[in-house]
Amino acid sequence: MSCNCCGKDQEKYQQLQAVIDAKKGTKGALMPVMQEAQSIFGYLPKEVQLFIAEGLGVTLSEVFGVATFYAQFVLEPQGEHVIGVCLGTACYVKGSQAVLDRLSEELDVPVGKTTKDGKFTLNATRCLGACGLAPVMMIGDEVYGRLTPDEIPAILAKY
């Protein structure tokens, strides 16, 4: 993965390499290496996971399994505000998919990703436990209920 070791990331990869060299061969090396990697990069993109897999001689699928098992790991750079649109049954029935689609359109970002300016991360979530307010979304800690797609631009304008 030498192709990643260029530009401003070079230093970060060197740091990670040092961590891998120190931990390689020890039992249970994967978790600590991944934790270090996340603190170096802020999140764990595919390239970093590949780098870890090759460095430790494990498969990408093992690294990814751990990354998705523990909530402490994030796979995407997180925006300043994290939006979660509920796609639980109640919200889905009340049209939350349309809300999600509208957000994706307004922010010009696919679900699960962060906007180019780093301001918003758009996620779909499971039931948020506020089904009475369906369809529901959260921005940070703020809950928005009984949403219609047309309300979205005004809400976004607040941030």
Partner 1 sequence: MDLVTLTIDGIKVQVPAGTTVLEAARSANIQIPTLCYLKDVNQIGACRMCLVDTGARALAAACVMPVSEGMVVKTNTPAVREARKVNMELLLSNHDRKCLTCVRSKNCELQTLAEELGVRDVRFEGAMSSHPIDDSSLSIVRDPGKCIQCRRCVAVCHKVQKVGVIGTVGRGFNTVIAPAFDEKLGDVGCINCGQCIMACPVGALREKDSTEEVWKAIGDPAKHVVVQPAPAVRVALGEEFGMPMGTRVTGKLAAALRRMGFDKIFDTNYGADVTIMEEGTELLNRIQNGGVLPMITSCSPGWIKYIEHYYPEFLPNLSSCKSPHEMLGAIIKSYYAEKNHIDPKDIYVVSVMPCVAKKFEAKRPELGNGELKDVDAVITTRELARMIKEAGIDFVNLPDEDFDPLMGESTGAAAIFGATGGVMEAALRTVADILEGKDLDAIEYTAVRGIEGVKEATVTVAGKEIKLAVANGTGNAEILMEKMKRGEADYTFIEVMGCPGGCVTGGGQPIVPARERMVTDPRVVRAKAIYEEDAAMAERKSHKNASVQKLYDEYLGKPNSHKAHELLHTHYVDRSGK
Taking residue 91's Cβ as centre, other Cβ atoms within 10 Å add up to 27
User: Of these partners, partner 1, ligand FES, none, which one is at the site of residue 91 (CB under 5 to 8 Å by kind)?
Assistant: ligand FES
Distance of closest approach, residue 133 Cβ to ligand FES, in angstroms: 7
CA–CA gap between residue 33 and residue 28 (Å, rounded)? 9
109: number of CA atoms within 13 Å, CB side? Answer: 20
> Of the ranges 30-38, 57-65, 102-110, 136-144, which one interacts with partner 1 (CB under 8 A)?
57-65
Residue 139: DSSP 8-state = E
Instruction: Note the residue count of the chain.
Output: 159
Q: Is 55 or 88 the residue whose CB approaches ligand FES more closely?
A: 88
By CB under 8 A, the count of residues binding partner 1 is 14
CA–CA gap between residue 102 and residue 108 (Å, rounded)? 9
Name the amino acid, one letter, at 23. Answer: K
Among 44, 86, 109, 147, binds ligand FES (CB under 6 A): 86
Q: Is 48 or 122 the residue whose CB approaches ligand FES more closely?
A: 122
- Residues forming contacts to ligand FES in the complex (CB under 6 A) are 86, 88-91, 127-131, 134, 136
